[in-house]
Amino acid sequence: MRVLERFALDGRKAVVTGGNQGLGKAFAAALGQAGAEVMIVARDTGRNAAAVAEMKDQGLAVSALDADITRDADAVIDQAAGQLGGLDVLVNNAGVCYHGESWEVTDAEWDDVFDLNVRALWRCSRAGGRHMAAAGGGSIINVGSISALIVNRPQWQPAYNASKAAVHQLTKSLAAEWAGAGIRVNAIAPGYVKTEMAPVDQPEFRRHWIEDTPQQRYALPEEIAPTVVFLASPASAFMTGSVLVIDGGYTLY
């Protein structure tokens, strides 16, 4: 097998949560470009339809499941796997963040963050892992963050930071437990990426988010997506429990 063939995902079935915008949409498109049949799972029906139409126009095999993984993640993943005819790759991308000082964080905000970023991710992983174990293996990619490694400034976000630290550690825990079932569990930790939800190019943030990055810029979602393809593919066959930092060098300082 030639080296680039190890990155191919032909015949693989993939689910991307929160895959209708930003990083998630870039991940879904990249997996589709690598040959996978992809299903995005997200709550917004209109945004799902728009994302699917855009990717189908590119010739990609992408569909959507309108669902809320904070309600019944097990049933959602079972339904997605059933419609796809299997599950080889699960990208746990869906997440939420609130900005504000710790004194101002409400219990509802804290619960929202942990319900989606951690609890739903855990339940999706466990449900997806069952399908993968029955089929002889698979790859789970969790979307963590450099926020698990540093404290972002000048926007404070204590609940989000704590949730992403939990994601990193859960990645390692599941990787250790499920390796014998042929399931690889890895995570990525992106730095500052320009998306609809991240105002990385606003002047008030440039000092801390751009000038403090050795590469002196933010990333685009399309620059993060190839790493997801790598982790989903046989090219990373000997990797599990890793957290890959993709931050332009931000966490070097």
Residue numbers annotated as active site: 160
DSSP H or E run through 183: strand 183-190
CB-based contact 202:177 (threshold 8 Å): no
Report helix, strand and coil shares of the chain as percent, to nearest 5: 50, 15, 30
**Which spans in the chain are helix H?**
22-33, 45-57, 69-84, 107-114, 121-135, 158-178, 203-209, 221-232
* Chain Cα centroid distance, residue 77: 15
Q: Kindly report the CA angle at 197 between 146 and 147, in degrees rounded to 5?
A: 15
Three-class DSSP category at 138 = strand
Collapsing DSSP states into helix, strand and coil, what is residue 237? coil
Tokens found for residue 204: 């008030």
Neighbours of 22 (CB within 10 A): 17
Q: Which residue has the tokens 């089929």?
A: 135
